[in-house]
Structure 1
Amino acid sequence: MVRLLGFERCDMDQAVFFRRRAKALIVVLVHVDDCTIVATSQPLIDAFKIEIDITDLGELHWILGIEVRHVCENRTIFISQRSYIESILRHYGLQDLKPLSIPMDPNVRLTSAQSPLTTDEFAQMRDVPYHAAVGSLMYASLGTHPDITYAVQTVSRFLTKPRIAHWDTVKRIFHYLKGMKELWLSYGGQQKGLVGYADADGSMAEDRHAISGYAFLLHGRAVSWSTKRQEIISLLTTESEYIAATYTSKEALWLRSLISQLFNTSLGSTTLFSDNQSAIALAKDHQYHARTKHINVWFHFIRWIVENGSIRLVYCPTDEMVADTLTKALPSPKVKHFVTELGLISV
């Protein structure tokens, strides 16, 4: 059916199909039996709905629990999970929580030593919906709230043996979402290309595994973000930042390929910001260094990416490092600053 209609399957995402004729482009995104159709003009969408037997639910306002708003005159789109957040607050009986300005207290350190050891401690957590609550928060984090991604990643590490201290942190994330539920993730309105931010932090890691974080902004708004525990133990800050940049470069290549294929365009070098000058120098320098010779050759992949011009590593001061909020708990002023930088605004 796809080929009969002249559509191609996207190489980077097999749930995305597109058809291009001259300057006319129509893209179909499929999720199980739901389709989202976007095109360069309304007649293209109307013609496609005639070609294929589907139920037309009209203009997109909801998809997978995410609310969508369009402002055509400004060429902007806003997405929100406020209804979803309200529903999970009610589900866990937390609808009366007072809003807080940060999702995680920078002065609180969660460890496995806080896990329950005695029968009484296990009994205390028996009826606490820790797993389900963390899963609910994950969907908000993946959908429209990159600002809680680090906090959710942290509490998810204690799913096997959570204790009250861990549950208190989970509830704090709900406190934060209660106050942030009216923020919308916005797209459009700025003529900027794709840029990425890569960061790492290991100072709070109990097991010495650093945390990598990245965020990619397209036209000044977040389109991809991640918080991930590094597989290896880094001996140097430079090493953990270098590894974070390598992780981020893989996502950069995927995004570049997706954009290039869908829009039939050739991208110049994608700017990737890092706040570590030594990591940037290491990515550009192929010479032997005694202090970094132990780094696995796999992580030197970024050197090839930089050399062939796909990405351009640029220094960014820590105060402007958007991915900082994806690697550690921050005080309120920084949280608010990076929330805005990611594209979360009031509508």
Structure 2
Amino acid sequence: MRSGFIKSAYDPCVYFNNTLYLLLYVDDILSIGKSKSEISDMKLLLKSEFEMKDLGEAKKILGIEIKRSRPETLMLTQESYLRKVLQKFNMDKSKPVSTPLAAHFKLSRDQSPKTEQDRAAMDSILYASWVGSLMYAMVCTRRDIAYAMSIVSRFIADPGEEHWCALKWIMRYIAGTLDLGLTYSSKYKSQLEVVGYVDSDYAGCVDTRRSLTGYVSTMQGGCVSWK
């Protein structure tokens, strides 16, 4: 809400001189503003209208951990979430690798199961569940696995053994990079400047020979949008 005031059933009017932001997801709320006193006033106003609990300074929301090194740096990670994912799929003891997807993986539809026996063997593997668990991390904080996930997710309807090996490779990469995340710093001079980068391969898809384009936008030294 912009500078101004809000009326409620309990408060005649509450004035806000600065912009305040409320970020909502179902019943979770993050409040952001320049003035701590105005954020406190906003919390009191919300409490007068709704049943709510103030958890204090945000440290975690939706599986995303918020780490601060005041006054200059803020980092978003999903270390705890990813550690649980590795444990769930029995990959927490796996040997880490240094790249999200190795160059020797040339995945294609031709690697999907050819016989009913092979398809039955793959049916026992939770390929879609693995992909979904990693996709959540990729969307939130782990843009470094975006390309690898775009490759393995193409075969989610009919994965083969080679696709499965590539997915396990990504899990091994995650196992060795649990502490990675998004870092933003106030040290950057152009703090409000959004910088974008884009690139594409040439006929990179083995099946269609189409090119794949990727982009990333950064602000204050950290990524804010990618695909």
Match in the other structure for 2:21 = 27
CA drift at 1:26: 1.0
Match in the other structure for 2:63 = 65
> Tell me, what secondary structure is at the counterpart of 1:116?
coil
- Which of 74, 77, 100 aligns to 1:77? It is 74
- Which of 93, 101, 120 aligns to 2:98? It is 101
CA drift at 1:21: 4.9
Match in the other structure for 1:169 = 166
| Inter-partner Cα distance in structure 2 for 1:133 and 1:151 | 13
- Which of 141, 144, 162 aligns to 2:138? It is 141
Matching of residue 56 in structure 1 with residue 54 in structure 2: yes
Q: Report 1:1-347 matches (<5 A).
A: 5=6, 21-22=16-17, 24-53=18-47, 54-74=52-72, 76-189=73-186, 190-192=188-190, 193-206=193-206, 207-226=208-227
RMSD: 1.8
| Inter-partner Cα distance in structure 2 for 1:4 and 1:33 | 24
Displaced runs of 4 or more, over 4 A: none
Q: Which amino acid aligns with 1:131?
A: A
Whether the 8 Å CA contact 1:109–1:204 is kept in 2: the answer is: no
CA drift at 1:57: 1.1
The structure where helix makes up a greater share of residues is 1
| Inter-partner Cα distance in structure 2 for 1:29 and 1:191 | 27
The one-character-per-residue Cα deviations of 1:278-317 (angstroms, maximum 9, x if unpaired) are: xxxxxxxxxxxxxxxxxxxxxxxxxxxxxxxxxxxxxxxx
Whether the 8 Å CA contact 2:16–2:38 is kept in 1: the answer is: no
| Inter-partner Cα distance in structure 1 for 2:61 and 2:111 | 39
The one-character-per-residue Cα deviations of 1:69-101 (angstroms, maximum 9, x if unpaired) are: 122322x21111011111000101111111100
| Inter-partner Cα distance in structure 2 for 1:209 and 1:73 | 46
| Inter-partner Cα distance in structure 1 for 2:94 and 2:141 | 21
CA drift at 1:120: 1.3
Whether the 8 Å CA contact 2:75–2:181 is kept in 1: the answer is: yes
> Tell me, what secondary structure is at the counterpart of 1:180?
coil
Match in the other structure for 1:291 = none
| Inter-partner Cα distance in structure 1 for 2:203 and 2:105 | 13
The one-character-per-residue Cα deviations of 1:194-219 (angstroms, maximum 9, x if unpaired) are: 11001111332120221110000102
The normalised TM-score by structure 2 is: 0.88
Match in the other structure for 2:12 = none
CA drift at 1:4: 7.7
Match in the other structure for 1:340 = none
The one-character-per-residue Cα deviations of 1:126-160 (angstroms, maximum 9, x if unpaired) are: 21110000001101111111010000010000011
State the percentage of identical aligned residues: 34
Q: Which amino acid aligns with 1:215?
A: V
| Inter-partner Cα distance in structure 2 for 1:25 and 1:70 | 22
> Tell me, what secondary structure is at the counterpart of 2:209?
coil
The one-character-per-residue Cα deviations of 1:319-345 (angstroms, maximum 9, x if unpaired) are: xxxxxxxxxxxxxxxxxxxxxxxxxxx
Q: Which amino acid aligns with 2:109?
A: S
The one-character-per-residue Cα deviations of 1:93-128 (angstroms, maximum 9, x if unpaired) are: 111111100010123210000000201111221211
